[in-house]
Amino acid sequence: MTIVFVHGNPETAAVWDPLLSELERVGTARAGVVCLSPPGFGAPLPAGFGATVGDYRDWLIGELTRFPDPVDLVGHDWGGGHVLNAVMSRPDLVRTWVSDTVGVFEPDYVWHELAQRWQTPGAGEADVAARFGAPVGERVATLVARGMNEAVAEQVARGQDEAMGRAVVALYTSAAQPVMAELGRGLERASQRPGLALLATEDHAVGTLEQRRRAARRAGAEVAALDGLGHWWMTQDPGRGARVLTRFWES
């Protein structure tokens, strides 16, 4: 069994470190773990890569085809969006899927304020230039203030750069509504493989609890509520996250 993790924005694969340590402790990760970094987010942004929703879907599909067998695929934030887009297109590439971002595919989902800024010409470019051009200490403080574990934030902040800023603007611009709602019309196709929707109850960036539960039903997914945890649940309580994932895979 190969487990593949895909992170989101504005992150690097370091966000998974506490969770992977917990999985290794209980023996789940011994079968093989791979962390895939989307271009621009801890990995080089290739020349000519458009960094659109469709580009990241195709990138992930391409990476998954390299594995000899279907994988257990886990996505967080935009990684969770890439996971669902890939599964809707190529369910044959996965054994199971997990996403904490199912709600963004609901027709009534409204992008959060910061995403709307990134989708605004001029304002988006100015924001990422200031955000990722700030001293590392300021970038760490911003992540911690938004709920990320400080030790993880120190690693993630070092990977935030101008390329990530360009990827952020391109990705969010390409995903302005009604794009996500239109992609969500195919959400039922994800039910071809066992899925798990993680609902961190204090994460207010990825849709309401009702939107996320509704999307999970459409995708045929189980639901696991992470009560009291926020957007970076895997750094806040990695032990709980590991237990939830392990139970799902074993089922």
pLDDT digits (tens, 9 = 90+) for 208-238: 999 999 999 999 999 999 999 999 999 999 9
Which residue type sits at 158?
R
Q: What pLDDT sits at residue 26?
A: 81
Given a contact cutoff of 8 angstroms between Cβ atoms, the answer to whether 34 and 3 are in contact is: yes
* pLDDT range class, residue 1, cuts 50, 70, 90: confident
Q: What pLDDT sits at residue 187?
A: 98
Could you tell me the end-to-end alpha-carbon distance of the chain, in angstroms, rounded to an integer?
14
E strand or H helix that includes residue 226 = strand 221-226
Locate tokens 């409204």: which residue? 110
pLDDT of residue 192 exceeding 90, the answer is yes
pLDDT of residue 128 exceeding 70, the answer is yes
Mean predicted confidence (pLDDT) in 171-182: 98
pLDDT of residue 27 exceeding 80, the answer is no
Mean predicted confidence (pLDDT) in 70-91: 98
Given a contact cutoff of 8 angstroms between Cβ atoms, the answer to whether 99 and 193 are in contact is: no
Mean predicted confidence (pLDDT) in 139-167: 97
pLDDT of residue 189 exceeding 70, the answer is yes
Q: What pLDDT sits at residue 152?
A: 98
Q: What pLDDT sits at residue 30?
A: 55
Give the CA distances from residue 151 to residues 17, 134, 135, 143, 233, in Å, rounded to whole numbers and listed in that order: 10, 18, 17, 11, 14
pLDDT of residue 31 exceeding 70, the answer is no
Mean predicted confidence (pLDDT) in 238-251: 96
Q: What is the mean pLDDT of the chain?
A: 96
Q: What pLDDT sits at residue 29?
A: 59
Mean predicted confidence (pLDDT) in 174-191: 98
Domains detected in the chain:
3-109+180-250 (3.40.50.1820)
Q: What are phi and psi of 148, to 5 degrees?
A: -85, 140
- DSSP for 59-95, written as a single string: HHHHHHTTSSS-EEEEE-THHHHHHHHHHHH-GGGEE
Q: How far apart are CA 121 and CA 248, in angstroms?
A: 42
